[in-house]
Structure 1
Amino acid sequence: MNTPKIDDASAPPTMPSPSAVGWRQRSHDVTTPLPATVRPPSESEPVRRRTDAAGRTVVYTAVLLLTLLLLLLIQRLPWNGDLGLHAATIERLRADLIHPGSPQVDADTDSPYYSPWTVLLALVAKATGATAFTVLRIAALITLPLLLTGIRHFTRTLSTRRLAPPLAVLCLLLLWGPPLFAWSGFLELGSLALVISYPSTFVVALSFHFWALLTKALRTAASWKAFLGLGLMWAVIMLSHQFSGVVATFGALAVLLAARPWPAKETWLKLGSGIVLGVAVIAVWPYYSFFSLFAFDGLEEIHHALYSDMPARLGLALLGVVALLFRWRRDKRDPLVILFALGTLMVTAGGLTGHWSWGRALPAAIIPAQLAIALAIAEAGNRFVRNALAAVTGAALLFGAWTQSTALGYVFVGEALPQAVREKTWPSWQGPEWVTRAVKRGETVMTTYRSGLMLPGYGIYTVAPGFDDIFLPDQKERHAAVERFFARDTSRKDQLDILHRYNAKWVLRWDPEGGLPSKDPALRLVDFGPDGQALYKVVG
């Protein structure tokens, strides 16, 4: 049987009837291929679609569960780390918005903690009468959606794939560990459990929006008003958390160097105007001198820990470094590659020169790596490559989730969690609310380091700051005075002199610590607290 020539140029184009199509599909003699419009679907197509749908469901469900966990953490607001210091900042501004003084001690000094963000929170506290810790919860409730939308906003400037933003959220929060990396400005879930209400997290969240808006402004040659707004946003970022501000600036520089087409002269003028406005706002900020921060060098010792266990802490992010390498091969001006290079150079330079505080730029290296692996999965065209990447990254995310499971310990207490998780969770401190029944806001308490971390959060001063304060000129003298007061060989005359010098009206100590004896006529026992604490009123 001869096959009819349906591709003959002289033959009129006709579509076969449904019955003819069915006959041709059944006939073994027909060799002419079917038209594309009626080609039967591949048997693997429905399977592929179901697999992709299942993958999307898993990703979105994981993001939802992480969001719910963070909301529960906000409600709990675990007391650890620097929480008391940020509460103290709000309390000082609530008491005196114009001249708040030191957040921790009774001294008329400036403080870099008085930022545009904390001033806004203090206004909320004054307007509502809410406690500082309630206001910090409000701050976290603002920061969390700002962070999630910021990640989506910036990721959408890098990829149009719908799965890219939720994958980015998972990678940014979970590709950490196994050792904990609890530092302000770092997005690991275990760290966010403690710092979700801190100004640093607000700045990181705002930075993603800043990068996205700058990218769009450069692509569209935006108006003068848009670039001036970006300058103001940059000033708020730099004033609110300086370390995260460096990361934000590196990201902006990466976006600028990656811009295509290269900005025209007018765009450069607009960009320059925004920078000038930002610098001007930073220069006139009344609560502290931003540029004086460059003169302080007392931050290195505390940051030395950033460089310990670094290979283990960043091992999961190596997946993203490989993805960055492929992005660099495709585009030497990829913004993620440039940001990674800037962050890596600064962190490496800090390690080589002993400037350990430069390690705070580490998010500038980690964030682009984490985003790169998320984008690689979302944009993989080859199904085998996509599935392989998803499998490897999924395993890494699960391992990272186990590493960050300490966050669960702040939400579920007691026997609800495995022993291994409970042991890794840092204990939440017991707040000294009982002290506030007697001690009023603005009064000074002589106490040791442990209480010095918490009391300022209730508006109470301590003789020595619990947290290092580079703006406090007599910080060393204050710590030495506290040490002398509680030393057992210090004379009573010297102890009384220290109390009067710093106008300390109260003594809070853990018995049997040193200091004046409990029956000394200069002290009057007022109350007992947990764990053997005792509060004394200074009466002599």
Structure 2
Amino acid sequence: MALWAVAALLVVLLLLVIVRLPWIGDLGMHAATVERLRHRLLDPGNPLVDENTPSPYYSPWTVFLGVLARVTGLSVWVVLRIGALISLTLLVTGVWRYVRTLSAHRLAPPLALLCVVFLWGTQVFNWSGFIGLNSLALTVAYPSVFALGLAFHFWALLARALKDGPADRWSGWAAFLGLGAVWAVVLLSHQFTGVVATLGALATVVGARAGWWVWPRLGAGVVLGVVVLALWPYYDFFALLRVGGLEAIHRPLYMDLFARFWLVLAGVVALGMRGWRDRRDPLMVFFLLGALVFAAGGLSGHYSWGRALPAALIPAQVAAAVEVAGAARGVLRNMGAVVLAGALAVGAWAQAGAVGYAVGRSALPGAVAAKYRAPWVGYHWITPWVRYGDVVMARTMTARQIPAYGAYTVAPGYPDFFLPDAGRRETAVRTYFAAGTSRDARLGVLRAYGVRWVVQWPSDGGLPAGDRALRRVASGPRGQVLYEVVR
């Protein structure tokens, strides 16, 4: 009962996080994407700048949220909370169903849920697609959580289809075609999680030892999935395979590995035990595939391949839960339970600051409050003046948030490989704020991009506060100022 209570408490904590919806990282991008779809569902254009370009952020998931926003009239922040609730439900139930394909023990699912959230390391690591508690609290409204929750269901359904045999109704052609469509939705919704889902599916097939009957069905499912990917109207999925420039962004994935993930070693030991019993154990194969892709990325300099690391972490975390829950009573089970409980306690303490995203920092004890990292404040304060579709001049970090409220920025705050003039726009922003730029050059930038507003810190540079081309409208947190461009 205690284990079930802890798992339930974890879910309640995450529900409280959704109520507060802390903002950091890419949340502004996803809010802007939903906002564009609300206004122009079939042709939303670029989510960040005033250009008509495709974007990989227009996925089946964000299109659903855009339709929800359009039909209900709810604000984008309410819609994101609804999406986060759906994604969290998918994740929790997905872990449950997947673990049920691996163990019949009643304690395996709640223990696995705790392992995938707490069995990480002692250095907190936040990145979309990585679901340690702190990272999950900050990314619960991201498409990556939806995609990973759906991936767990995908693996569970695939395992069931492979297990039943050719005579069973579930293993018919329709089931595998449906699995192909689900696979495509995961890939379209979050491409990196789609890679993890694919590796997990390969491991499931290898471990199932299904007969010849499965291959035509699997082939049909893959073909349908590829067709869905090819026909998706909002962006060219296969063009992403030619995208470069992601390596510097992902280089940090290969840093501080031991501090970030050393508690997962308990799961690696469990995987070794499973591999000893069965060389085609699906969790063991899954782990090896994920570790191989991750290692190949590090050795070759393709650091974006590091996003496949969850394909090594998840099977290790699940294996730790399944092995401890299903072990026969005796000394070995007791030792395993003690080690895993200790690892979970250490992992939970390392991420204890995430509780602040649910209850606020003021409610935390001093030792826990020291672990809390405040989320972004946001730019609600500009909305009484800045309207949907207005263009705002702002530096990169500010530009990562302003589009969430409907405005555009001159340059995207995130890399945009479908925007042909992204480099020119970034140069224009640097030119405007550079110390040596003339007044005429700055005014030229504002005119060239139809800028109506400037948001800047006192130290940013740009036109001076008293310039006649600017009118001070409002002040924001920590000295930020909103200026209207006077035409």
Q: By the TM > 0.5 criterion, same fold? A: yes
SS in 2 for 1:437: coil
1:27 is matched with none
Higher Rg of the two aligned structures: 1
1:259 and 2:203 equivalent?
Answer: no
1:89 is matched with 33
Task: Please tell me whether the aligned partners of residues 162 and 208 of structure 2 are also in contact (alpha carbons under 8 angstroms).
Answer: yes
Between stretches 445-454 and 353-362, larger displacement belongs to 445-454
Counting only pairs closer than 5 Å after superposition, residues 446-485 of structure 1 correspond to structure 2 as: 446-485=393-432
1:362 and 2:306 equivalent?
Answer: no
Letter in 2 for 1:324: L
The Cα of 1:392 is off from its aligned counterpart by 0.7
Residues 538, 415 of structure 1: alpha-carbon distance in 2 compared, 3 angstrom cutoff? closer
CA deviation vs aligned residue, 1:64-116 (integer Å, no higher than 9, x gap): 11011000000010011111111011011111111111111111111100000
Letter in 2 for 1:264: W
Between stretches 132-141 and 406-415, larger displacement belongs to 406-415
Of the three residues 53, 69, 76, the one matched with 1:125 is: 69
1:349 and 2:296 equivalent?
Answer: yes
2:8 is matched with 64
Letter in 1 for 2:259: A
1:289 is matched with 236
The Cα of 1:249 is off from its aligned counterpart by 0.2
- Between the aligned partners of 2:371 and 2:144, the Cα distance in structure 1 is 24
1:426 and 2:370 equivalent?
Answer: no
SS in 1 for 2:370: helix
Task: Please tell me whether the aligned partners of residues 396 and 413 of structure 2 are also in contact (alpha carbons under 8 angstroms).
Answer: yes
- Between the aligned partners of 1:138 and 1:183, the Cα distance in structure 2 is 21
- Between the aligned partners of 2:413 and 2:329, the Cα distance in structure 1 is 56
1:202 and 2:146 equivalent?
Answer: yes
1:329 is matched with 276
The Cα of 1:423 is off from its aligned counterpart by 3.1
Between stretches 521-530 and 309-318, larger displacement belongs to 521-530
1:47 is matched with none
Instruction: Report percent identity of matched pairs.
Output: 54
2:174 is matched with 225
Of the three residues 56, 69, 83, the one matched with 1:112 is: 56
Counting only pairs closer than 5 Å after superposition, residues 245-256 of structure 1 correspond to structure 2 as: 245-256=194-205
The Cα of 1:412 is off from its aligned counterpart by 2.8
Letter in 2 for 1:473: P
- Between the aligned partners of 2:345 and 2:121, the Cα distance in structure 1 is 11
- Between the aligned partners of 1:513 and 1:293, the Cα distance in structure 2 is 34
Letter in 2 for 1:90: V
The Cα of 1:512 is off from its aligned counterpart by 4.4
Between stretches 423-432 and 214-223, larger displacement belongs to 423-432
CA deviation vs aligned residue, 1:114-138 (integer Å, no higher than 9, x gap): 0000000000000111111111100
Shift >4 Å, 4+ stretches: none
Task: Please tell me whether the aligned partners of residues 121 and 258 of structure 2 are also in contact (alpha carbons under 8 angstroms).
Answer: no
The Cα of 1:418 is off from its aligned counterpart by 3.1
- Between the aligned partners of 2:289 and 2:357, the Cα distance in structure 1 is 35
- Between the aligned partners of 2:373 and 2:251, the Cα distance in structure 1 is 21
1:74 and 2:18 equivalent?
Answer: yes
1:407 and 2:390 equivalent?
Answer: no
Task: Please tell me whether the aligned partners of residues 14 and 358 of structure 2 are also in contact (alpha carbons under 8 angstroms).
Answer: no
Between stretches 68-77 and 472-481, larger displacement belongs to 472-481
1:529 and 2:476 equivalent?
Answer: yes
CA deviation vs aligned residue, 1:31-69 (integer Å, no higher than 9, x gap): xxxxxxxxxxxxxxxxxxxxxxxxxx2211110110110
- Between the aligned partners of 1:162 and 1:155, the Cα distance in structure 2 is 10
1:213 and 2:157 equivalent?
Answer: yes
Letter in 1 for 2:289: L
- Between the aligned partners of 2:107 and 2:452, the Cα distance in structure 1 is 59
Task: Please tell me whether the aligned partners of residues 356 and 363 of structure 2 are also in contact (alpha carbons under 8 angstroms).
Answer: no
Letter in 1 for 2:483: Y
The Cα of 1:414 is off from its aligned counterpart by 4.1
Of the three residues 374, 382, 391, the one matched with 1:444 is: 391
Task: Please tell me whether the aligned partners of residues 457 and 481 of structure 2 are also in contact (alpha carbons under 8 angstroms).
Answer: yes
1:384 and 2:316 equivalent?
Answer: no
TM-score by length of 1: 0.88
Of the three residues 302, 311, 329, the one matched with 2:249 is: 302
2:87 is matched with 143
SS in 2 for 1:537: strand
- Between the aligned partners of 1:450 and 1:284, the Cα distance in structure 2 is 34
SS in 1 for 2:358: coil
Of the three residues 328, 343, 359, the one matched with 1:396 is: 343
- Size of the aligned set, in residue pairs, is 482
Residues 426, 470 of structure 1: alpha-carbon distance in 2 compared, 3 angstrom cutoff? farther
- Between the aligned partners of 1:415 and 1:264, the Cα distance in structure 2 is 61
Task: Please tell me whether the aligned partners of residues 16 and 359 of structure 2 are also in contact (alpha carbons under 8 angstroms).
Answer: no
- Between the aligned partners of 2:325 and 2:142, the Cα distance in structure 1 is 31
2:190 is matched with 241
SS in 2 for 1:258: helix
The Cα of 1:318 is off from its aligned counterpart by 0.5
SS in 1 for 2:452: strand
**Structure 1 stretches lacking a partner, 5+ long:** 1-56
- Between the aligned partners of 2:345 and 2:459, the Cα distance in structure 1 is 47
CA deviation vs aligned residue, 1:437-462 (integer Å, no higher than 9, x gap): 11110110011123211111111101
The Cα of 1:264 is off from its aligned counterpart by 2.3
CA deviation vs aligned residue, 1:467-507 (integer Å, no higher than 9, x gap): 12122222222122111101222111111110111111111
- Between the aligned partners of 1:448 and 1:323, the Cα distance in structure 2 is 48
1:501 and 2:445 equivalent?
Answer: no
- Between the aligned partners of 1:488 and 1:307, the Cα distance in structure 2 is 36
The Cα of 1:422 is off from its aligned counterpart by 2.4
Letter in 2 for 1:460: A
**Structure 2 stretches lacking a partner, 5+ long:** none
